[in-house]
Amino acid sequence: MRGCVDHASSRRDAVAEPNDQLRRARERTESPHATGEALSRQELAELVNACVFEHTEDHRVIELDANYIGKLEQGSIRWPQDPDRRAGFRVVLGVNTDTELGFRRPRRGRTTVDGVERQQFIRVGAGATLAVAAGGSTVAELIAPTQPTPVPSVVGLSHVAEVRAAATAFADWDNRHGSGFVREAVNAHLGYCARLLNARCSETVRPELFSAVGYLGNITAFTAFDSYAHDDARRQFRFALWCAEEAGDWSLRARILSNMARQALWGDDPDAALTFIELALVRADRLTATERARLHTARARVLARLGRTQDAVTAIGVADEEFSHARPADTPPWMATYDDAVHSGEAGHALWEVGVHDQFVTEARHRLAAALSGHGAELVRLRAMSQTKLASLIMVTGDPREAAALGIQALDAIGTLRSRRAADDLRELGRFSEPHVRLPEVAELRHRIATVVAA
């Protein structure tokens, strides 16, 4: 076990200026225990300790405390010598480099660094030349394209197929890994594909093109929603909806409106969510049974949030009836993953809304458990969120030890998932677990949640 003070760094930087970068990074990170409050020094220390323990092969134990964080922020220590420790700070505070946290290596004498400097000169010479040539530009500016990909003068069905294939690939990535890394890529691709709408095309191709771009727009908007870029999501959903209506694509229109309802409900606006769902159900005869089933489960969730429990249960019954008539051959591409497990999960999420208030608990548990047993490996986020909801339900209404075990399984499943919605579900599970904090299993769960959410 290493001590908490890097004495060598402390001696060399005894009169160093305060490390405001580290302090600001801590203050802009939310406390896992107090919503809206900044991370305290002690909380930061504990999260770094936990992060190092979780992410080192030998589960290293370090014992940072508020005093050590204070020395870092005061500048008396500018360079934590332990690389695991620095990595822990980067993960917890959400940065990519030590420099962003104000960590600087101490200066060394000429006899120590002459050889190193010669090697560094050779390695970075090309980079320095580029930096000078760029006139001090940032790296991002340096690599920004100056020759955008040209839009074809005439768009054909082959271009439409490429848009759909790209949209499907982005949707698959989002399902597996969350929106964290895919959002910038899909934004850029949507910008290019939107330009295709101004190109010449035949009357046969035109509705197919608008439908494909609308499909991509819906996926782009959903990644923004998952990242809590809500204004971007609303604009992109509206663009996608316009495309669907231009194409006369009722199926895509219903899908987009359903996602708009989901975003509104997440923002605690169930009245707007219900409006979107009712709009999606206009001319429901033009939709497949699978699509109608999905819409009715979404409507059930909204009704449950509004406190209309019996109406919500009735809507789930309607959804079940519709799903019993589903024909996979008629299902559009964006509904391909809506199988028995996903249907159970959607109904389970709706029943969860009333289950946490001790109504229809058994049915909610049954539906969520059925979803978990049937979700494929590609639906990482959906599986993790269903598992977290089931753990929350059991934490409130059942055995907290069982709930803790399920919660830890959900944390293991999340892995490298980047989803702010999934993180919020974990925070909610942490809040539900507070009455049982004295149980060792629950204490471990809360510790793991704090670590994952901070990362």
pLDDT in tens, 81-115: 888 899 889 988 888 888 889 988 876 544 444 45
> What residues have CB less than 8 Å from 218, skipping those under 6 apart?
237, 240, 252, 255, 256, 259, 334
Domains present along the chain, CATH in parentheses:
7-101 (1.10.260), 110-143 (no CATH)
Give the range among 35-39, 194-198, 266-270 with minimum mean pLDDT. 35-39
| Residue 404 near residue 433 (C-beta atoms within 8 A) | yes
> What residues have CB less than 8 Å from 238, skipping those under 6 apart?
none
Round the average pLDDT of the chain to a whole number and report it: 84
| Residue 24 near residue 45 (C-beta atoms within 8 A) | no
For 272-303, write each residue's pLDDT tens digit: 999 999 999 999 999 999 999 999 999 999 99
Q: What's the rounded Cα separation, in Å, for the pair 216 and 220?
A: 6
Nearest by Cα to 258 from 229, 288, 287, 296 = 296
pTM for this model (two decimals): 0.66
With a cut of 50, say whether residue 373 has pLDDT above it. Answer: yes
